[in-house]
Structure 1
Amino acid sequence: MRGLARFGPIRLWARSLPFRVVLSTIAAAIVILFSTGWFLMDQSSRGIMDGKTQASVAEASAVVASMQTTLSTTDFRTTSASEQISRLARDAASRGQAGSQYFVVVETPISQIGTAGLAADSIPDSIRQAVANGDGDGLWSTPTMIRFTDQREEEPGLVVAANLDAPGQEPYPIFFLFSTSQEQRTLAVVQQATLATGVFVLVGLSATVYLIALQVLRPVRAARLAAESLAAGHLEDRMDVVGTDDLAALARSMNHMAEELDKKITQLQNLSLVQQRFVSDVSHELRTPMTTIRMAAEVLHAHRAAFDAASRRSSELLSAELDRFEGLLTELLEISRFDAGAAELSLDDVDLVGLAGDEVNSLQRLAEGTGSVISLDADGSCVAEVDGRRIRRILRNLITNAIEHGEGRPITVHLRSDDQAVAIAVRDHGVGFSAADAGQVFNRFWRADPSRGRRVGGTGLGLSISLEDARLHGGWLNAWGRPGLGAQFRLTLPRRAGEELHGSPWPVVPPDVKDLTRVSIR
């Protein structure tokens, strides 16, 4: 079916609105014309045949009345009834043949009298039976096919039957056969004219509907092209407004939308420039006071041994909180760059195995302070085109988060790669989180347990920045966790910058969790 959809009427139906309109119109017109033609032919046939039947019955009735009058005035003492019947039948046949009006057959007990060459089966048995059962005062009629005993072709006709009454004799059935060939030819002409008219109407209607569809769709197509042009960034393009009808109103609406869109985009661009300038100004203005505060704090921290206990503790808290404040300020400025769209990549071919090993070694001491041990599980070397500084920051944030929530249990950094992508997964076996919280962990300043304090520092922005860094690379950052089973954060990056990801070399669910339904969660 997919193959058929690429070609022929199915593709035209799917892609061409004029084709659908014309085809629907043709289908509706065929139904209407067929119904109208059938009604017209039915009424014509009824009218013509009813008229022929009435005329035939009237003609036959007049002939029968004349013959019956002659029989009534005949002196049967000088002639027999059969002789008179035969004479009247031959006279009636002669008159019918003279004007090619009808054929006559009179059946007597001895023979069949009437038009010569007429086949006996031209008279249906049904009308013979009706005449035989009649009271002799009525007329009967029915369609038939008139057949001949000579070389003449059969033709459609109408049989009108009656009874002739002779005194002292059984009724004599008489049959008049009227040809309806002329009426059939008239009906054929009417049928041909109806069919030709239907074809002409159908073709003309299809052409008219197609032209109307094109006339209506031309502004719609122009609107589509204008919308595509606007989407491509050509905000100065406008549609031509012609006339005052609904299509002109559509063009005016499209132009108004383009103007408003241009204004909004200009405002957003100006706002983005202001935000970028703000970020740059804040970064520059805070650098000097922060440097001064840092120098003063270092001096106090270096001479804390000479202070009393309260002052010494204050200097230590000042130094620790100043470190955290600097980290928070740096991450806030980075988040602002992401929001302003000012973040850019500095791409280079980086050995991710070496980078991950450096980060594991640098954070090993911090992990040991909480009882955890970090190990690296890498399958050979892996070189990818990435921004090394941002990937290092992502890995640092993920490992720090694992140390924070790892409950002193082992932490493993897995690194796998294939021809298209590379995956770095940080797996811990700590408190974990519910499946419903998997979409919340990357929100800024979000905590699964608000009452839980931070033990290894952090600002609450690390995972948010990591997600933005991953997106900036065109990669994925997925989170999996279950209460009591720990968590795993998986970073997937394309091997070459700009390539689209279609899969990851490492699964989202850790391989060590085989069947969640069999694991006891406590």
Structure 2
Amino acid sequence: MGRPGGRAGRGGRGGLLAGIRLSSLRLRLVVVFALVALTAAVSASGIAYWLNREAVLQRTQDASLNDFRQEMQTRAAALPVRPDADELRRTAEDMANGGSGYRVLLVGEGEPGKQTIGASDADRFSLRDVPAGLRTQVDQERQVDSGNEFPYHLFWVRIEKGGTPYLVGGTRIIGGGPTGYMLKSLEQERQDLSSLGWSLGVATLLALLGSALLAQAAATTVLKPVHRLGEAARRLGEGRLDTRLRVSGTDELAELSRTFNNAAENLQKKVADMSAREESSRRFVADMSHELRTPLTALTAVTEVLEEEGESLDPMIAPAVALVVSETRRLNTLVENLMEVTRFDAGTARLVLDDVDVADQVTACIDARAWLDAVELDAERGIMARLDPRRLDVILANLIGNALKHGGSPVRVSIRTAGDELLIEVRDHGPGIPEDVLPHVFDRFYKASASRPRSEGSGLGLSIAMENALIHGGDITAANSPDGGGAVFRLRLPRDASAIAGGDGDGPGASQPDKRDKQRDKHDRRGKKGGTDGGA
């Protein structure tokens, strides 16, 4: 008899995970946990399935082949050298009945060159079912030496027939006798392995669900402090500088909370210090402006007398008197502007609303300053608006005066309406506004040219105009004309500022710093454009 030998094969499987875009940290944690669990479960299940498959098949295979070998030694070896077909058939049936559920096919030598075949079940197992390669291996006689004790060996192979897996084995009697083949069905083993595969699949799914739940719990534990930190940062950004986080533990998140608390405390101290300095500076400017008003009143009265007596003064003294008069007026304007700015900063500015004809208001502003010859007005009569006439006059005086001083005549003022808004455009015909100046024209004390530090403008005119527009709930933008024809300032105001003023026309609503700050932020988002030097 021979010794066992054979061959086997194995397959593989693959997967692809692509095209996933994740934005939530919680979802990313769950996915990572799930992927790790899936990889571990699939690997463990695959290894377990492969080991069990090999063990089940090897056990069935060894049991069947050993039994077949034993039957060949006890029954087939007892046959004559040239058995007939009936002898082979009876022996094959005896071997199949006494075996472990396999079918037997015996092939003997009858007349020279002719084979005699006997099968336990000729309808289900014939010589055609035996692979040619297996028959060749079984019939091949090998040389007997120290490394090989037998000229013939037992060989086997796994095949599939009609969708059912089978084990086919074969060997021949040494010293003369029939060649035997066996056919063993592996359907039961395949069913057992299929059940095992389903069990491992269910276990993998349960492991995946368990990992998702674990990831959710871990994400909640990790992200809850992060969420609290985000909420605290949001409150801090909203100005609630007393926001602090409760610190517990010694891990990295606790250290991050401590760092946030330290940063918030330092920020609160610095903001408080800056607020105190700003308040001190505001009081200083207000007090200085107030204290300057008394001597300026006296100086103004003196300069008016000197101006009236200018024709009778000595020609050598007249230029000095004219300079004193001019500088006194300039100083008086600067003090008034400073007091107006401090009122805005302190939140004490008030709207005094009235129903005005906008065209008449613009005409009165131009006429009062003797600009009729240099300004063109494009407006329809009868455009009514409920605004503060004095503050509208300040806005127009600054915009038109700025255009006349730094632009070029003629200055064109256009008045239009758009729904509930009033639009006033002031266009000059000068060289335009340099691009680097545009973002700063509404800044306080800003002047476009550093070589003109003593120009007539104080650098507060456009800033005051903007504050008066914001207190109405409007804004001012500045840009260069697309056709290169000078600068264009656009004033946008509501036609009825009662809601901004608190509904009574003389309330504190519009003067509150928080409301004006919101309007200023809105203006900044729309984009600050330029002017010339910020002076009126």
Q: Is the pair's TM-score, using the shorter chain for normalization, greater than 0.5? A: yes
Mapped to 2, the partners of 1:439 and 1:252 lie a distance apart of: 39
Mapped to 2, the partners of 1:476 and 1:43 lie a distance apart of: 79
Contact between 2:67 and 2:99, CA under 8 Å: does it hold in 1? no
SS of match in other structure, 1:480? strand
Aligned residue in 1 for 2:170: 161
Q: How many residues align?
A: 465
Aligned residue in 1 for 2:9: none
Contact between 1:96 and 1:104, CA under 8 Å: does it hold in 2? yes
Aligned residue in 2 for 1:460: 459
Aligned residue in 2 for 1:291: 297
SS of match in other structure, 2:413? strand
Aligned residue in 1 for 2:331: 325
Mapped to 1, the partners of 2:252 and 2:284 lie a distance apart of: 47
Mapped to 1, the partners of 2:258 and 2:433 lie a distance apart of: 54
Aligned residue in 2 for 1:102: 102
Contact between 1:123 and 1:144, CA under 8 Å: does it hold in 2? no
1:159–1:394 CA distance, 2 compared to 1 (3 A):
same
Aligned residue in 1 for 2:57: 49
Mapped to 1, the partners of 2:350 and 2:86 lie a distance apart of: 121
Aligned residue in 2 for 1:491: 491
Deviations 1:90-109 (A, max 9, x none): 33432332343421123566
Deviations 1:339-390 (A, max 9, x none): x454634152553333222223233x3464xxxx312112454444544333
> In the alignment, does 2:309 pair up with 1:309?
no
Aligned residue in 2 for 1:402: 403
Mapped to 2, the partners of 1:122 and 1:376 lie a distance apart of: 115
Mapped to 2, the partners of 1:63 and 1:355 lie a distance apart of: 125
- Residue type of the partner of 2:432? G
Deviations 1:38-61 (A, max 9, x none): 343234323432444444444444
SS of match in other structure, 2:458? coil
Aligned residue in 2 for 1:346: 351
Contact between 1:131 and 1:163, CA under 8 Å: does it hold in 2? no
> In the alignment, does 2:135 pair up with 1:131?
yes
TM-score (norm: length of structure 2): 0.74
Aligned residue in 2 for 1:242: 248
Pairwise CA distance, 1:138: 4.7
Pairwise CA distance, 1:412: 1.0
Mapped to 1, the partners of 2:117 and 2:387 lie a distance apart of: 113
Contact between 2:135 and 2:170, CA under 8 Å: does it hold in 1? yes
Pairwise CA distance, 1:196: 3.0
Mapped to 2, the partners of 1:202 and 1:459 lie a distance apart of: 73
Mapped to 1, the partners of 2:54 and 2:223 lie a distance apart of: 46
Contact between 2:245 and 2:257, CA under 8 Å: does it hold in 1? yes
Pairwise CA distance, 1:292: 1.6
Alignment gaps of 5+ in structure 2: 1-20, 109-113, 142-151, 501-517, 524-528, 531-536
Contact between 1:360 and 1:375, CA under 8 Å: does it hold in 2? no
Further displaced range: 178-187 or 309-318 = 178-187
Pairwise CA distance, 1:297: 1.8
1:345–1:23 CA distance, 2 compared to 1 (3 A):
farther
SS of match in other structure, 2:302? helix
How do 1:198-237 residues align onto structure 2 when only pairs under 5 Å count?
Answer: 198-232=204-238, 234-237=240-243
How do 1:171-186 residues align onto structure 2 when only pairs under 5 Å count?
Answer: 174-186=180-192
- Residue type of the partner of 2:168? V
Pairwise CA distance, 1:319: 0.9
1:92–1:493 CA distance, 2 compared to 1 (3 A):
same
| RMSD value, Cα | 3.8
Contact between 2:417 and 2:423, CA under 8 Å: does it hold in 1? yes
SS of match in other structure, 1:413? strand
Pairwise CA distance, 1:296: 1.9
TM-score (norm: length of structure 1): 0.76
Mapped to 1, the partners of 2:450 and 2:485 lie a distance apart of: 16
Pairwise CA distance, 1:218: 2.4
- Residue type of the partner of 2:280? V
Contact between 2:105 and 2:127, CA under 8 Å: does it hold in 1? no
SS of match in other structure, 1:310? coil
> In the alignment, does 2:197 pair up with 1:191?
yes
Pairwise CA distance, 1:123: 5.9
SS of match in other structure, 2:225? helix
SS of match in other structure, 2:245? coil
- Using the aligned pairs only, state the percent identity: 28
Higher relative contact order (CA 8 A, sep 6+): 2
Contact between 2:169 and 2:183, CA under 8 Å: does it hold in 1? yes
Pairwise CA distance, 1:440: 4.3
Further displaced range: 258-267 or 277-286 = 258-267
